[in-house]
């Protein structure tokens, strides 16, 4: 099967800029997907693989978490889903010979595109302290070393265990059990950088950390507000659902600083209309908002609705408010007090237009608000999302058909991972059930989230780091700080499918464990195993890979974790304790006297389960899940029948709100929005069309008219002129930030080409992860702690050599 050899690093000198597209998807998208698939997999494997994506007996697409429609198309995938699959199902391999050929220094000289292109990891590898190259290691040696290292720590909190959202439910459940059995809640995950703000706001106000709509609700909505999201690139299958809603008469309002292609017009490649008739115009109204202006927009909507209601329009659902909510009076007062002038300044939208948008909400019989990173990655994201909830509560738009909140999740199982307990702040009810099921006592103290984990590494408090998937070094903010922090850790372990930066920027010693992905056949204990995942709308279904694994020498995530649990918790294994601190006198961090740590470990005990059996029969893990997590009754029988399990959702199912007061909560939030100093720009860091987070698929951002390059900064043409630059100039981006102590800090990302783009005045955009170096570690959202990747103050600086 012929595949093309990997391409070289991106040569930014070849960059070409043309007009952005107005239409998303269509036939060019399908052609591009097939091209990438053929390059990575050859033709036969491409066809075999792509036909299985999201089919009832196939595998769950690793591309995104948007749910499947009940009636599935033969090819239930999209361009970017196909690219995600091709990345994993590639025939290229990274084995021992590759690592013998390339030193760490050599690998570090390549960009993320080149690293990701090299292929699938096939063999466990270790990097000895001070070594220039990784060398092969056996599974037994690698896993024993990890277990020994953990056992030798002074305190379980010296270990941190990261998770990215592709991990299956079964693996996630075992992983959190391993970590809690070991004695810590240090379980940071990619969600901390993603929808944590949604979880925080929704938990407080609705008593659930997830959305409250199903796919049917999307189809039945009367009005869909899609804010801070670029579905044409990041959730292309969502466009089909929006198209369906539209065909039933729904209106769509897109709220975005950028006129993103998919939101404007969509050509469905699976319908004749899409292919031949130029597709559907999706957004009825495009609201070009300033970065960080969404709280003001939703306050404006709320204010207008309340004003109209007071004037006798009868549009507020007072019965719903009286029966199901609290806090209304304070919210009403706050909206009366907030001046229109401020709302206009924050959004950049005139009052008349704000009122016209609000009138659309007034008229709609059922409204859904969908959002993604444009709303979650700001300092004031949590209050912004509370104000989204306020607006929906006004008209009783929670817990009825066609209405509700719809945070559109990113990674294909990021929501399931949280349901399985991957969370640094676990709920007491979950821990109590875990204790009962496995006869031990899980730790109660909160663990580190992602930003806290980096601080702990930086401060020398972390001696062990394990990544269950993901690319911690490239995905997190403040790249230089993170790289130094990572290098301080004694042992770093990455469980991965593909090569990435986190394999070359490592702790003093590093282990790579290659792992099976979604598309790979997983045979254990003489039978094919399946796993389960949960989509963005709380529906759980099974996934089974069909392709021959990249090598015979690979394990599944479940197998790795079950073996580690066996080593740490099998009868005779002692819980981690601190016999003495003599082994590490230089660390001087004997925070807990040794005796106390030993007593704590003794009291905790270890989880009890038949670890070997779990490794060879994943159904047994599902039984444990069913016993611990509510909503999984008859789990195995239901997935046997190919059914989807719809997890219980109090607000949606019965207008039941598990908040402190038992009611949905209106909140009064002071208006916040970013202030941009003169001569500076507010930068958002976002995804191109050819990448999956830190994995760069290709060199183009087709819809935005950027080809053969990624180091671009999109700026309004008037700002370019006013700042004294010209289109095409190459500049450094310098971020400016006053830290928590008030001290001024600068960070630099070098050599970005200026591109004139339709972004609001004062706002700019550039790709992540190249710009993560600009995001200060301590610049996080209030309450949720999410890095503020969508609001970084920068100045453009002419390069000295120009
Ligand atoms: N192909 C592909 N699919 C993916 C991913 C991928 O990288 N590639 N990543 C997955 C993951 S983990 C996630 S979380 C999702 C991410 O999905 P998105 O959130 O769509 O991803 P971003 O590229 O960060 O885009 C942010 C969007 O919000 C807009 N925006 C930025 N700031 C603001 C603001 O202040 N207000 C408003 N209203 N809009 C704003 C931007 O202009 C942009 O359109 O996609 C998932 N799916
Ligand atoms: N500046 C800025 N930073 C951001 C964001 C932003 O918008 N701007 N977005 C944030 C968001 S929303 C997210 S979700 C994070 C993403 O953060 P991560 O989830 O940590 O990053 P990914 O790039 O998705 O991880 C890719 C790696 O996962 C591994 N992998 C893929 N599939 C599997 C699998 O099935 N099993 C295992 N074990 N490994 C696998 C591969 O080795 C691959 O190299 O980044 C965040 N960082
Ligand atoms: Mo994400």
| Residue 403 belongs to a domain | yes
Query: Distance between CA 790 and CA 11 in Å, rounded?
Result: 27
Which two three-digit tokens encode residue 394? 């006004």
Most informative mutation of 693, 771, 774 for ligand 2 (most atoms within 8 A of CB):
693
Asked whether the predicted pLDDT for residue 276 surpasses 60, the reply is: no
| Cβ 695 vs Cβ 500: under 8 Å | yes
| Residue 472 belongs to a domain | yes
Which domain-ending residue is among 88, 115, 143?
A: 88
Asked whether the predicted pLDDT for residue 589 surpasses 50, the reply is: no
Do 246 and 395 share a structural domain?
Answer: yes
Index of the ligand 2 atom closest to the CA of residue 686: 7
Do 132 and 110 share a structural domain?
Answer: yes
| Cβ 196 vs Cβ 784: under 8 Å | yes
Asked whether the predicted pLDDT for residue 591 surpasses 60, the reply is: no
CA dihedral 127, 129, 133, 137 (to 10 degrees): -30
Do 165 and 80 share a structural domain?
Answer: no
Do 385 and 269 share a structural domain?
Answer: yes
Query: Hey, whose CA ends up nearest to atom 8 of ligand 1?
Result: 692
CA 679–ligand 2 middle distance (angstroms): 34
Partners of 718 in the β-ladder: none
**Domain CATH for 278:** 3.40.228.10
Which two three-digit tokens encode residue 612? 């070997």
Which domain-ending residue is among 646, 673, 697?
A: 646
What DSSP line would sit under 444-475, residue for residue? -S----HHHHHHHHHTT---EEEEESS-HHHH
CA 324–ligand 3 middle distance (angstroms): 32
- Is 693 near ligand 1, meaning CB less than 6 Å away? yes
CA 411–ligand 3 middle distance (angstroms): 6
CA 687–ligand 1 middle distance (angstroms): 6
| Cβ 282 vs Cβ 266: under 8 Å | yes
Partners of 394 in the β-ladder: none
The DSSP output letter for 547 is B
Query: Would you state the pLDDT for residue 525?
Result: 86
- Is 777 near ligand 2, meaning CB less than 6 Å away? no
Strand boundaries in 41-158, DSSP class E: 93-94, 120-121, 125-127, 135-136
Percent of the chain with pLDDT over 70: 91
Place 19 in a pLDDT band, splitting at 50, 70 and 90: confident
- Classify burial at 120, counting beta carbons within 10 Å of its beta carbon; exposed 0-12, middle 13-18, buried 19 or more: buried
Do 318 and 243 share a structural domain?
Answer: yes
Q: What pairing do the DSSP bridges indicate for beta strands 706-707 and 16-17?
A: antiparallel
Asked whether the predicted pLDDT for residue 5 surpasses 80, the reply is: no
Query: Would you state the pLDDT for residue 27?
Result: 58
Whole-structure pTM value: 0.94
What range does the domain containing 22 cover? Answer: 12-88
CA 82–ligand 3 middle distance (angstroms): 18
- Asked if residue 769 has a cis previous peptide bond (ω within 30° of 0), the answer is yes
Please write the tens of the pLDDT for every residue from 41-56.
777 777 677 766 666 6
Do 791 and 728 share a structural domain?
Answer: yes
The DSSP output letter for 644 is P
Query: Distance between CA 780 and CA 384 in Å, rounded?
Result: 14
Most informative mutation of 33, 79, 536, 686 for ligand 1 (most atoms within 8 A of CB):
686
The residue behind tokens 């109090």 is 650
| Residue 343 belongs to a domain | yes
Do 793 and 747 share a structural domain?
Answer: yes
Index of the ligand 1 atom closest to the CA of residue 195: 14
More confident residue, 511 or 262: 511
| Residue 325 belongs to a domain | yes
User: If you average pLDDT over residues 289-311, what whole number do you get?
Assistant: 98
Most informative mutation of 196, 496, 682 for ligand 2 (most atoms within 8 A of CB):
496
- Is 227 near ligand 1, meaning CB less than 6 Å away? yes
Do 573 and 463 share a structural domain?
Answer: yes
CA 195–ligand 3 middle distance (angstroms): 7
Query: Hey, whose CA ends up nearest to atom 18 of ligand 2?
Result: 470
Half-sphere exposure at residue 61, Cβ-oriented, CA atoms within 13 angstroms = 29
Which two three-digit tokens encode residue 115? 């690293």
Place 1 in a pLDDT band, splitting at 50, 70 and 90: very low
Query: Would you state the pLDDT for residue 352?
Result: 98
Query: Would you state the pLDDT for residue 125?
Result: 98
Please write the tens of the pLDDT for every residue from 442-457.
999 999 999 999 999 9
The H or E element spanning position 633 is none
Query: Distance between CA 529 and CA 542 in Å, rounded?
Result: 10
Residue 7: strand, helix, or coil: coil
Most informative mutation of 113, 263, 297, 373 for ligand 1 (most atoms within 8 A of CB):
373
Asked whether the predicted pLDDT for residue 580 surpasses 60, the reply is: no
| Residue 654 belongs to a domain | no
Mean of pLDDT over the chain: 91
Please write the tens of the pLDDT for every residue from 377-398.
999 999 999 999 999 999 999 9
| Residue 280 belongs to a domain | yes
Please write the tens of the pLDDT for every residue from 719-734.
999 999 999 999 999 9
The H or E element spanning position 160 is strand 159-163
Residue 508: strand, helix, or coil: coil
**Domain CATH for 156:** 3.40.50.740
- Is 64 near ligand 1, meaning CB less than 6 Å away? yes
* Rounded (10°) angle between helices 351-363 and 294-308: 70
Do 433 and 555 share a structural domain?
Answer: yes
CA 376–ligand 1 middle distance (angstroms): 10
- 40-49, 665-674, 788-797: least confident range: 40-49
CA distances from 604 to 186, 435, 437, 660 (A): 16, 10, 14, 30
Partners of 523 in the β-ladder: 528
| Residue 312 belongs to a domain | yes
Structurally, how many domains does the chain consist of? 4
CA 136–ligand 1 middle distance (angstroms): 38
- Is 381 near ligand 1, meaning CB less than 6 Å away? no
CA 414–ligand 2 middle distance (angstroms): 11
User: If you average pLDDT over residues 590-619, what whole number do you get?
Assistant: 82
Asked whether the predicted pLDDT for residue 144 surpasses 50, the reply is: yes
- Is 775 near ligand 2, meaning CB less than 6 Å away? yes
Query: Distance between CA 251 and CA 221 in Å, rounded?
Result: 8
- Classify burial at 31, counting beta carbons within 10 Å of its beta carbon; exposed 0-12, middle 13-18, buried 19 or more: exposed
Asked whether the predicted pLDDT for residue 571 surpasses 70, the reply is: yes
| Cβ 366 vs Cβ 400: under 8 Å | yes
- Is 364 near ligand 2, meaning CB less than 6 Å away? no
Please write the tens of the pLDDT for every residue from 369-379.
999 999 999 99
Which domain-ending residue is among 408, 439, 473?
A: 408
Asked whether the predicted pLDDT for residue 331 surpasses 80, the reply is: yes
- Is 373 near ligand 1, meaning CB less than 6 Å away? yes
User: If you average pLDDT over residues 38-43, what whole number do you get?
Assistant: 75
Do 161 and 203 share a structural domain?
Answer: no
The residue behind tokens 């580190």 is 448
CA dihedral 489, 494, 499, 500 (to 10 degrees): -50
Number of H helices, E strands in the chain: 33, 33
Please write the tens of the pLDDT for every residue from 491-549.
999 999 999 999 999 999 999 999 999 989 999 988 999 999 999 999 999 999 888 99
Query: Would you state the pLDDT for residue 285?
Result: 94
Index of the ligand 1 atom closest to the CA of residue 287: 38
Asked whether the predicted pLDDT for residue 636 surpasses 50, the reply is: yes
Query: Would you state the pLDDT for residue 282?
Result: 85
- Classify burial at 741, counting beta carbons within 10 Å of its beta carbon; exposed 0-12, middle 13-18, buried 19 or more: exposed
- Is 229 near ligand 2, meaning CB less than 6 Å away? no
| Cβ 330 vs Cβ 670: under 8 Å | no
CA 254–ligand 1 middle distance (angstroms): 13
The H or E element spanning position 542 is strand 539-543
Do 316 and 249 share a structural domain?
Answer: yes
Which two three-digit tokens encode residue 418? 């949280």
Query: Would you state the pLDDT for residue 42?
Result: 76
Query: Distance between CA 498 and CA 87 in Å, rounded?
Result: 9
Do 448 and 324 share a structural domain?
Answer: no
| Residue 543 belongs to a domain | yes
């Amino acid at each position: 099967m012929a595949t093309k050899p990997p391409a070289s690093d991106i040569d930014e000198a070849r960059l070409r800029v043309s007009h952005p597209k107005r239409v998303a998807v269509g036939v060019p998208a399908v052609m591009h997907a097939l091209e990438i698939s053929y390059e990575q997999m050859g033709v036969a494997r491409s066809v075999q693989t792509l036909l299985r994506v999201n089919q009832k007996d196939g595998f769950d697409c690793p591309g995104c978490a948007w749910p499947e429609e009940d009636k599935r198309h033969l090819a239930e995938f999209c361009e970017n889903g196909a690219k995600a699959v091709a990345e994993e199902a590639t025939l290229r391999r990274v084995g021992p010979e590759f690592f013998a050929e390339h030193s760490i220094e050599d690998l570090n000289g390549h960009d993320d595109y080149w690293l990701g292109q090299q292929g699938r990891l096939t063999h466990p590898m270790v990097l000895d302290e001070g070594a220039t190259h990784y060398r092969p290691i056996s599974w037994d040696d690698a896993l024993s070393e990890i277990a020994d290292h953990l056992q030798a720590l002074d305190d379980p909190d010296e270990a941190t265990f990261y998770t990215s959202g592709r991990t299956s439910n079964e693996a996630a459940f075992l992983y959190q059990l391993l970590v809690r059995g070991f004695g810590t809640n240090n379980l940071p995950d990619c969600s901390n950088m993603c929808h944590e703000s949604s979880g925080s706001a929704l938990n407080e106000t609705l008593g659930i950390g997830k959305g409250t709509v199903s796919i049917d609700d999307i189809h039945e909505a009367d009005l869909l507000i899609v804010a801070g999201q670029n579905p044409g690139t990041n959730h292309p299958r969502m466009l089909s659902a929006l198209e369906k809603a539209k065909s039933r008469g729904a209106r769509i309002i897109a709220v975005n600083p950028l006129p993103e292609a998919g939101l404007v017009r969509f050509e469905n490649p699976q319908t004749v209309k899409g292919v031949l008739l130029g597709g559907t115009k999706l957004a009825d109204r495009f609201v070009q908002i300033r970065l960080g202006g969404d709280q003001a927009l939703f306050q404006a909507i709320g204010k207008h609705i309340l004003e109209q209601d007071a004037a006798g329009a009868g549009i507020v659902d007072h019965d719903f408010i009286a029966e199901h909510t609290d806090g209304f009076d304070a919210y009403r007062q706050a909206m009366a007090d907030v001046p229109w002038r401020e709302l206009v300044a924050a959004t950049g939208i005139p009052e008349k237009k704000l009122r016209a948008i609000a009138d659309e909400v007034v008229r709609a019989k059922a409204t859904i608000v969908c959002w993604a990173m444009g709303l979650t990655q700001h300092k004031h994201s949590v209050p912004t999302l509370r104000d989204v909830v306020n607006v929906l509560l006004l008209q009783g738009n929670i817990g009825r058909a066609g209405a509700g909140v719809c945070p559109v999740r990113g990674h294909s199982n990021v929501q399931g991972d949280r349901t399985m307990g991957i969370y640094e702040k676990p709920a007491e009810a979950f821990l109590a059930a875990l204790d009962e099921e496995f006869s031990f006592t899980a730790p109660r103290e909160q663990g580190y989230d992602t930003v806290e984990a980096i601080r702990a590494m930086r401060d020398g408090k972390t001696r062990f780091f394990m990544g269950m998937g993901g690319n911690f070094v490239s995905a997190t903010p403040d790249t230089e700080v993170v790289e130094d922090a990572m290098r301080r850790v004694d042992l770093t372990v990455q469980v991965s499918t593909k090569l990435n930066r986190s394999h070359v920027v490592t702790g003093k010693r590093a282990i790579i464990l290659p792992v099976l992905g979604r598309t790979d056949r997983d045979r254990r204990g003489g039978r094919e195993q399946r796993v389960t995942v949960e989509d963005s709308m709380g529906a759980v279904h099974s996934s089974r890979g069909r392709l021959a694994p990249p090598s015979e020498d690979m394990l599944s995530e479940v197998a790795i974790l079950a073996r580690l649990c066996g080593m740490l918790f099998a009868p005779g294994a002692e819980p981690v304790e601190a016999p003495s601190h003599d082994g590490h006198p230089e660390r001087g961090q004997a925070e807990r006297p040794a005796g106390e740590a030993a007593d704590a470990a003794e009291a905790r005990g270890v989880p009890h389960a038949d670890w070997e059996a779990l490794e060879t029969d994943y159904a047994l893990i599902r039984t444990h899940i069913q016993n611990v997590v509510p909503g999984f009754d008859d789990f195995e029988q239901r997935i046997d029948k190919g059914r989807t399990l719809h997890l219980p959702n109090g607000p949606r199912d019965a207008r039941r709100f598990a908040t402190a007061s038992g009611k949905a909560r209106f909140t009064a939030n002071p208006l916040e929005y970013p202030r941009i100093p003169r001569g500076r720009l507010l930068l958002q860091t976002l995804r191109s069309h050819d990448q999956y987070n830190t994995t760069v698929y290709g060199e183009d951002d087709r819809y935005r008219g950027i080809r053969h390059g990624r180091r671009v900064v999109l700026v309004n043409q008037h700002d370019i002129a006013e700042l004294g630059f010209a289109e095409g100039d190459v500049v450094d981006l310098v971020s400016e930030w006053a830290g928590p102590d008030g001290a001024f800090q600068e960070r630099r990302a070098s050599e970005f080409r200026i591109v004139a783009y339709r972004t609001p005045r004062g706002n700019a955009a550039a790709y992540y992860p190249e710009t993560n170096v600009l995001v200060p570690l301590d610049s996080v959202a209030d309450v949720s702690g999410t890095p503020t990747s969508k609001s970084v103050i920068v100045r453009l600086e002419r390069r000295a050599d120009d």
